[in-house]
Amino acid sequence: MSSELLSDSSSEKVDYAENADVTRFHSATAREQPEPTTQEQPMPIWVFALCSLFLLAGGALLGSHTNGFGLDTLSLAGYVPQGPDDGSAVVIEKTDLEKLMATGKQIYTTCAACHAPNGSGNPGGNIPPLAGAEWVSGSTERLALIILNGLNGPIEVMGKTWVNNMASQAAAVNQPAKLAGVMTYIRSEFGGGASPVTEEMAEAAFAVSEQYSGQMTQELLLQIPDSQMLPGTPIDMETGNLVGAGDEGASEAAEGQ
């Protein structure tokens, strides 16, 4: 009985795969191809030559339509477009008012540091506003004197008293064109579209400024009537040019006929 049990238990430990054909099992593995690997290969010379040929052809085609990118023909600084040689080109010139506004806008960037770009002033710095101020839209002689001579002491602007010391801005507007430009810009933008100031008027302002020594005060400014304007030929708001400028051109054209 015990011997039978022993024989049964030992038979369970027999390796039945011991006599299997190992070669047959490994032959399937031997038929498998090796795993692919990545490798770097140099570009064939013919591919490089073909790409270079395409690039050269494309560059030549582009250059033939751009004048060779020559600085003598495509220069931004001072570039003036040329019209037809037959004289049919129409040259559009800026009006006198447009020139004044462009000059004044550029100069006002310096003024904006105190009076703000929108002319609202700086209450914290006790700098009065320009927008809506009666000193801007009123007498051009008063406004010119404030700019050229500066302002010291209290001044009432739109019902509020401001105590400020404004230095003379004569160095920044040392030419009639500059003074006329900034005054025109201020009066147009912040003075409700008040009348422009021409270079002729600005020249008169320099002469008036020499009559005062030192900064202006509100007392001195009020001695000048609010309706007093700088003398000079005004600008026709319909044409944007000096009054009579169109008539002079028309008379010249009539003489040519």
**Tens digits of residue pLDDT in 67-92:** 555 545 555 555 556 666 666 666 67
Residue 106, both tokens:
């550029």
Q: How far, CA to CA in Å, does 51 sit from each of 55, 71, 108, 160, 167?
A: 6, 30, 56, 77, 69
Percent of the chain with pLDDT over 90: 56
Q: Which residue has the higher pLDDT, 62 or 151?
A: 151
**Tens digits of residue pLDDT in 186-237:** 999 999 999 999 999 999 999 999 999 999 999 999 999 999 999 999 999 9
Has residue 174 got a pLDDT over 50?
Answer: yes
Q: How far apart are CA 243 and CA 232, in angstroms?
A: 10
Q: How far, CA to CA in Å, does 156 sit from each of 79, 165, 169, 177?
A: 49, 14, 20, 29
Q: What is the pLDDT of residue 43?
A: 77
Pick from 65, 230, 238, 219: nearest CA to 155: 219
Cβ atoms of 235 and 241 closer than 8 Å: yes
Q: What is the pLDDT of residue 44?
A: 84
**Tens digits of residue pLDDT in 100-149:** 999 999 999 999 999 999 999 999 889 999 999 999 999 999 999 999 99
Percent of the chain with pLDDT over 70: 72
Has residue 8 got a pLDDT over 80?
Answer: no
Mean pLDDT of 238-247: 85
